[in-house]
Amino acid sequence: MAPKKAGKAAKMQAALKLSRTDGTPEGWREIVSLLCEHFGLPPDLSTANALKKVYGRLDTVYPRMKRELEQTTDHRIKGAIVEIYTQLCADAVLRNRLFQLGFLPQLLSVLDDPCRCGLNVAPALDSLATLTHHGGMEVRIEVAKATCQPLLRILRDLADDPQVPQLAIRVLAHTIAGAVSKEAKQRDPKLTSTLPLAGVSQAFVDALRRPNATGEMVAHVTSCLVDMSRSGDIQLTKPMVDLLVAGLRYQDWLGRVQCLAGLLSSHIPDVQDDPRTVDPTKVRRHLSGFADAPAIVRKTMQAVGVQGSKMYLKLASNRDFFAALGSSGYASGGDMYEAAKKIAEIMLCSDPAFLDGSYSVTNPVNGEMMLPGGSLKSWSDALPICAKAIREKGIASETHLADILDLKFLFMRKRDADAADLAQRALRLNPDFAYAYYILMLTQGDEPALRAAMRGIQCTPGPQNLTPFLRLQFLHHASELSCAPSIAAIEAPGRHGNASREVGVALMLKAMENWEAFFAEAAPDDQHMRSACSWLLVLRIMTATTLSGDLRELKALVDRLEFVKELDIWLGVREGPAQIHLVVETVLKSFAAAQRDWGALIATSVPGLHAETGLVETKEQMEEALAAWMEGSPVAFQSCCGCDASAHDGHGHDDDDTAPHPAESKTKTYRCFNCHNHSAMLRKCAGCNRARYCDATCQKQHWTTHKKECSVLGTKK
């Protein structure tokens, strides 16, 4: 054994000599290789075979490495030992074992060394970055507790180092993202109160203002600021808001969407959930006194004609409804058939098509006063009577008109389940029935409502089917309903039922296309015009190839938005601002300053490892992705790794870090089918011999997804 020990000692002596005499990159690699041999590890850890040899030795070798790092006074030797840790951390199983053995304090000792320099700190930070990028929730929480203060000191003391700030920000971004997550707060509700999050966010901004700031740094910073803001742990300052506004111009969709999500969440406390209220009497009075309207209102409305305005059409719809009832002699038991068909068509042209209630009105036909009569307690009670009159005629081609009246009545009575059921039955008989899709859109939520809206747009246009009014309703709702699932899919593709990132981008581009159509076709005073302009402004900023600081390219949208605001003030319309309205106000106020302060840095950020910029480049690709999603195809719900993604305690997910970063995997290894981490020692699925997992926990969590594939592959063995 003596010669073997002597050989190892010689390796250490050679490493010490090189440390003093050779400061080249080649010399550094040789030092690391010599130390590997000194500790009984393969000299080259960049292969899967080398890592396999470490598995059985790590528990024996680790105490020697720990002792050497603590005792040596040579800072390059300390750094080389940390570099070995970093290479071992590329393997998921070895990384978790190192954490269990307690190597984190060793990394911290290097960071806290009074004689620290970038040469030693950088490998320690690199190791921490790998650990936290791939590590599970437990790892991130512990690293956050231990490293926040040391890393803030390093950012201050080594601010001008070419490597250290970037690595320190990478580690902070990884750990803070975990610490502010819902899962971490469930484990430890007081965790974030013990962390200097305000100091971290300010240190981020300060670091980005320095000349050595990089595109990777700004990507990590914006991502982490969004996480902290969404969780309610920090209040965004003006420079941070400007950074997110500038981030809407990231090259990749992931960066843009994260900044949009951050801006949306930052305005949640300011949202007023007040429904839009309009006084029709006041509208009539203002229409008759149109000359007194604000200049921008007069100019815009004169361009389209007052009779083409939404408020005029609503008043006309109300008048037409009562004219149809009045001409039928409903109060004296007259025939309702002709009136019923007219009223059904009115339902297709406005919503609300009439003002419901039990009030008296003047009959537009004969000028006499009308009240709901007989069994009618309110005007809407006439709808099922009208539907019955149509059905009693027994004309098959008019059944849809009776359905429209029944659907409208059920919806007005808030009998959503009954309305949805009738709509589904009607669609089984006629899949091209636009009004049935309209009711499904209004009575269902989230994804089912979005699907109904997207199918409704595709119906055949016609005065008794897809009318201009229904088309605008579908365009508006499809666009608004697309925003949340598209953001979720781009940020976390394939997880929690989210669609793939490709589908997410397609949904957002389709929403922009629909808003463009809405803006072109709708009356300027449409009640949804403010939302349309707001979303279009944001989406055009996110997608435009070039933009001026004053946004002159978007002047038509800005002018229309100003018109809508002035019109609402003039008419006395009350409506609490939605998130997107507040976001647009912020963007319009801040865009010029944001571009001046942060635009150049944002432009240096290249698309991240999983942030595909060429995801959906043509209209054909967009339609293909949406068609796959509408059909429920598995390909439309893939994660970035090409399979359904999930994660569990103790294991990180390889897609967790959504900001750009260098590829940490220095070894040709397999990836766990569940958490997608790399390792040379994954266990095979006994059923198919193809799927590989970190451990039994990973295998169990992936079984629901893998079960069907496993049974098929197993029969082919």
Torsion sign over Cα 676, 677, 680, 686: negative
Partners of residue 461 on adjacent β-strands: 466
pLDDT confidence of residue 300:
87
Give the long-range contacts of residues 29-37, CB within 8 A, separation 24 or more: 31/76, 31/77, 31/80, 32/80, 32/83, 32/84, 32/87, 35/11, 35/77, 35/80, 35/81, 35/84, 36/84, 37/8, 37/11
- Any residues with CB less than 8 A from the CB of 568 and at least 6 apart, and which? 575
Give the long-range contacts of residues 42-45, CB within 8 A, separation 24 or more: 45/84, 45/87, 45/88, 45/666, 45/667
H-type alpha helices, 604-652: 619-631
How far is the C-alpha of 691 from the C-alpha of 215, rounded, in Å?
Answer: 36
pLDDT confidence of residue 633:
85
pLDDT confidence of residue 619:
87
Query: Are the CB atoms for 314 and 355 separated by under 8 Å?
Result: no
Output phi, psi for 545, to 5 deg: -65, -45
Query: Are the CB atoms for 456 and 438 separated by under 8 Å?
Result: yes
pLDDT confidence of residue 711:
63
Query: Which stretches of the chain score pLDDT less than 50?
Result: 1-4, 6, 609-611, 613, 641-668, 716-717
How far is the C-alpha of 374 from the C-alpha of 360, rounded, in Å?
Answer: 14
How far is the C-alpha of 363 from the C-alpha of 20, rounded, in Å?
Answer: 102
pLDDT confidence of residue 640:
62
Helices 446-457 and 619-631: crossing angle, nearest 10°? 120
**In terms of Cα–Cα distance, which of 484, 501, 424, 427 is closest to 450?**
484
Kindly provide the residue ranges of all beta strands, DSSP E only, lying in 523-657, ordered along the sequence: none
pLDDT confidence of residue 114:
55
44: left (phi over 0), alpha (psi -120 to 50) or beta: beta
pLDDT confidence of residue 664:
39
